[in-house]
């Protein structure tokens, strides 16, 4: 956690130890969203929290029947439990996450604190809400980029291998067939050399689209790198996988990319194999599919071969 965020609970705690008047002065000037509640009924809110949740003025937050309106439905119980526990003096994490809900019903990610305080003679709870949606979205995007091939938007090699390994374990557990394809775009280097890498990239994307159009939702496609893709086919025997490979091959062969003087057509060669109980690791299965691909390439390309 960022040090500027981790220090907020202690800073808020020290400030909220003052009189009600002092707390109001602090809260009204604070850039942090603060709401004071009796259980979940708001009695005070500052401008920062109104801004965070899309309300025009603090009085609109204070007029809400419950601050549960500021979080998504599945977070209401969590918020109520935190308020009760804080009033009871229970130890809680200093900072906790919540999915917030703006006035327009859009979702935001909140980093929150809860602090018991004396307010006009009552023991209430002051919540501090900080909008961390930008950071959360960035974190999500970084995780996505770590698993997705940026050119084709399909899983990258690492993500595909993880999925394939899980499918192998599932197949052995349930005694089900499992097959693999490895596809290689024929003569991609020639396309790059003749038409440029931009068109080569479009060829890679077109092959990815053709595969996704042909495969089932339960099948998993991944880009291993360069011009090579792989597919895992759950509950599929080798013979059925060969049929799938032929459909993919024909779909790719029927696709085209517009170029100044007409259309660019392209093909793939595909190697097929079925996993067996003797395959202790995914590398052994993909190695066999790769050997089948070598046979397809050596047979004139735009072919399907199997082992």
Which residues are catalytic, by number?
Answer: 227
**Do residues 231 and 219 touch, judged by C-beta distance below 8 A?**
yes
Partners of residue 231 on adjacent β-strands: 181, 221
What is d(CA 128, CA 78) in angstroms, rounded to the nearest whole number? 15
Q: Which of 292, 158, 170 shows the shortest CA–CA distance to 238?
A: 292
**Helices within the chain (DSSP H only):** 3-6, 8-15, 20-29, 47-52, 58-62, 76-87, 133-147, 157-174, 188-195, 197-214, 238-254, 282-298
The arrangement of strands across the sheet holding 220-225 comes to 220-225, 228-234, 178-185, 268-274, 304-306
């Amino acid at each position: 956690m960022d040090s500027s965020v981790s220090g907020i609970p202690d800073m808020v705690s020290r400030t909220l130890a003052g009189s009600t008047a002092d707390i109001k002065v602090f809260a009204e000037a604070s850039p942090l969203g603060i709401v004071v509640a009796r259980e979940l009924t708001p009695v005070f809110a500052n401008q920062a929290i109104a801004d965070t949740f899309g309300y025009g003025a603090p009085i609109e937050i204070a007029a809400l029947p419950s601050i549960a309106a500021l979080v998504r439905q599945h977070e209401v119980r969590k918020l109520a439990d935190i308020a009760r526990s804080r009033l009871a003096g229970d130890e809680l994490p200093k900072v906790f996450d919540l999915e917030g809900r703006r006035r327009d019903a859009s979702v935001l990610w909140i980093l929150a604190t809860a602090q018991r305080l004396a307010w006009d003679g009552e023991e209430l709870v002051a919540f501090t809400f900080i909008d961390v949606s930008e950071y959360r979205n960035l974190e999500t995007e970084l995780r996505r980029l770590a698993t997705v091939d940026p050119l084709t938007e399909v899983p990258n090699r690492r993500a595909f291998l993880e999925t394939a390994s899980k499918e192998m374990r599932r197949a052995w557990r349930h005694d089900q067939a499992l097959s693999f394809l490895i596809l290689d775009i024929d003569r991609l280097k020639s396309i790059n050399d003749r038409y440029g890498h931009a068109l080569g990239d479009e060829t890679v994307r077109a092959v990815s689209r053709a595969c996704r159009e042909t495969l089932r939702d339960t099948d998993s496609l991944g880009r291993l790198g360069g011009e090579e893709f792989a597919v895992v086919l759950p509950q599929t025997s080798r013979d059925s996988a060969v049929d799938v490979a032929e459909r993919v091959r024909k779909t790719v062969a029927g696709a085209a990319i517009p170029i100044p003087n007409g259309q660019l057509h392209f093909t793939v060669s595909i190697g097929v194999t079925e996993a067996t109980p003797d395959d202790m690791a995914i590398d052994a299965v993909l190695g066999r599919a790769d050997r089948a691909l070598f046979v397809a390439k050596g047979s004139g390309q735009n072919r399907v071969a199997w082992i």
